[in-house]
Amino acid sequence: MADPHDLTALEQADAIRAGELSSAELVEHYITRIEAYGDTVGAFVTVTADQAREQAKAADDTPAGQRGPLHGVPTAIKDLTLTAGVRTTFGSAAFADFVPPIDSDAVALLRAAGTVSLGKTTTSEMGVSLYSEGVVAPPARNPWDLANTAGGSSGGAAAAVAAGLVPFAQGSDGGGSVRIPASLCGLVGYKPSRGVVSGGPLGFGAFGLPTHGPLARTVTDAAAMLDALAVPVPGEPYLGPPPPDGGYLAIARAAAPGPLRVGRFVTPMLAGDQPVDPACVAAVDTAAAALTRAGHTVEEIAAPFGPEVWPLFETIWYAMALFPLPPEREADLLPLTRLMRQRGAEISAGRLMGVLAELQIQVRQAMRATAAYDLLLCPTLAGPQARIGWFSETGDPAVDFDRQRRFSPYCAVFNVTGQPSVSLPVATTPDGLPVGALLTGRYGEDARLIAGAAQMEQIIGWSDRHPDIWRATPSATVNGV
């Protein structure tokens, strides 16, 4: 008989509705696995076992007529996301004991959908890096190879899902922070169009770059979480497109995008001289072949952005690092975060406004150049994997930041454009590690992107691929750990 974690999130919900499993049983199953493997893969900063048990009991006591598609299913919340009454460190020693008095809208919406959070997942400090290696928790390790990073800033969320510690998890993506960990850990990582998911109740919207999004094993699970998150909330600075009739889950299940014209490229947009690993190119080839097999047209195109936009991008990211912080806690920050804040403090208001204006010009040009294409296809990353400690090993935060740019020269541009973008686990390296490909749709056409991704999933198939830790029993060791 399959273990409960072998079931997808939607299959778990079906089992709860059928009386074959209870939410309480699922919570206990996952808590046991978290206790055994959570630190091994560095998935969690805080585990809320008692709270989860209470929520699961309430879920099981809820009348059948009041249960939604995900009722009673366990999940986890990124430690960058405000959660009332639960320690939320933002991945930083500067906030090691912070307990928010309020929930992020994303947390409230997932709770309203009936999901049960098992705790807070590891993130990079304030979400500034694409790896999750701080001082408030063990580093987020890739369950496929514990010597490698699970990525960031939603690294703990990806590690948890890939290791079978939760069926799906909430992440956030301001420059690839959902899609990068998804590619590294063999998952579906979805960044919705700007405005689809509320970023409230705090903050100014961060120029529209970040958004909440799901990390999941399947496109249908990701779509179901997106349905829970894509609820309009008053006062948001960006107006998102209306959800499709029947929701994104219905679109994913139908997997019928209609004929698509797809523009394919592999040129690294933010690092023109960066070589792209053959495994990443092969993943794009695999995705292109699947799209062609489905009857779509795939054409080679020029990359919509070039490396000349990098100075604009980095200026925005430096400015975004200027989060409120008491001066006496500045020394608690990691060197990379301090460097970004120092550079951000040197940016004048006039320069920032000029950069935003120039960047929008670049966005308009890129969108007009690719307007004829329903989807864009490119690598998620320039390299398939990176080992723990590689980005910061020189001790120079400037080198660290440049290595991140070269490793991930694709994802961030779609945060600036606001387009929906998804990393799909379409291939593996010669030694069996996951490699993702990136599909991106027109702004507001999340339904078409999800339908295309679901169709590709049906053709390629990947939900039954798991690392060794997936099959390990709680008393076993993994990779010697």
Report the pLDDT value the prediction gives residue 2, as an integer from 0 to 100: 81
Kindly report, residue by residue over 387-413, the tens digit of the pLDDT: 999 999 999 999 999 999 999 999 999
How do strand 116-121 and strand 141-142 relate by DSSP bridges?
A: unpaired
Report the pLDDT value the prediction gives residue 473, as an integer from 0 to 100: 87
How do strand 116-121 and strand 74-78 relate by DSSP bridges?
A: parallel
Kindly report, residue by residue over 74-103, the tens digit of the pLDDT: 999 999 999 999 999 999 999 999 999 999
One-letter amino acid of 362: Q
Give the separation between CA 69 and CA 229, rounded to whole angstroms.
13
- For the chain, what's the residue count? 481
Choose, from 23, 124, 129, 153, the residue flagged as catalytic: 153
The DSSP secondary structure of 396-439, one letter per residue, reads -HHHHHHHHHHH-SSTTHHHHHT--EEEEEEEE-TTS-EEEEEE
pLDDT band at 284 (very low <50, low <70, confident <90, very high): very high
Please list the residues that pair with 31 across neighbouring strands: none
Q: Reply yes or no on whether 153 is catalytic.
A: yes
Choose, from 23, 78, 198, 421, the residue flagged as catalytic: 78
Contact 58, 216 (CB under 8 A): no
Choose, from 132, 177, 183, 421, the residue flagged as catalytic: 177
Q: Reply yes or no on whether 408 is catalytic.
A: no
Contact 407, 382 (CB under 8 A): yes
Count of Cβ atoms closer than 10 Å to residue 331 Cβ: 9
Average of pLDDT values for 101-109?
A: 98
* DSSP 8-state code for residue 297: E
- Tokens at 252, concatenated: 């994913």
Q: Reply yes or no on whether 22 is catalytic.
A: no
With 0-12 / 13-18 / 19 or more C-beta atoms within 10 angstroms meaning exposed / middle / buried, residue 63 is exposed
Give the separation between CA 364 and CA 179, rounded to whole angstroms.
24
Kindly report, residue by residue over 200-212, the tens digit of the pLDDT: 999 989 999 999 9
Please list the residues that pair with 211 across neighbouring strands: 173
Kindly report, residue by residue over 255-279, the tens digit of the pLDDT: 999 999 999 999 999 998 999 999 9
Count of Cβ atoms closer than 10 Å to residue 18 Cβ: 8
Percent of the chain clearing pLDDT 90 (strictly above)? 96
Residue 220: pLDDT over 60: yes
Residue 1: pLDDT over 60: no
Percent of the chain clearing pLDDT 70 (strictly above)? 98
The separation between CA 391 and the C-alpha centre of its own chain, rounded to angstroms, equals: 19
Instruction: Quickly list H helices, 42-90.
Output: 49-61
User: Which strands make up the sheet holding 211-216, listed edge to edge?
Assistant: 168-173, 211-216, 188-191, 421-428, 434-441, 375-379, 261-264, 297-300
Helix (H, G, I), strand (E, B) or coil at 458: helix
Residues sharing a CB contact under 8 Å with residue 100, sequence separation 6 or more, in sequence order: 82, 83, 84, 85, 86, 88
The DSSP secondary structure of 315-340, one letter per residue, reads HHHHHHT-----GGGGGGS-HHHHHH
Give the separation between CA 355 and CA 309, rounded to whole angstroms.
10
Report the pLDDT value the prediction gives residue 479, as an integer from 0 to 100: 54
Residue 31: pLDDT over 80: yes
Kindly report, residue by residue over 293-349, the tens digit of the pLDDT: 999 999 999 999 999 999 999 999 999 999 999 999 999 999 999 999 999 999 999
pTM of the predicted protein model: 0.97
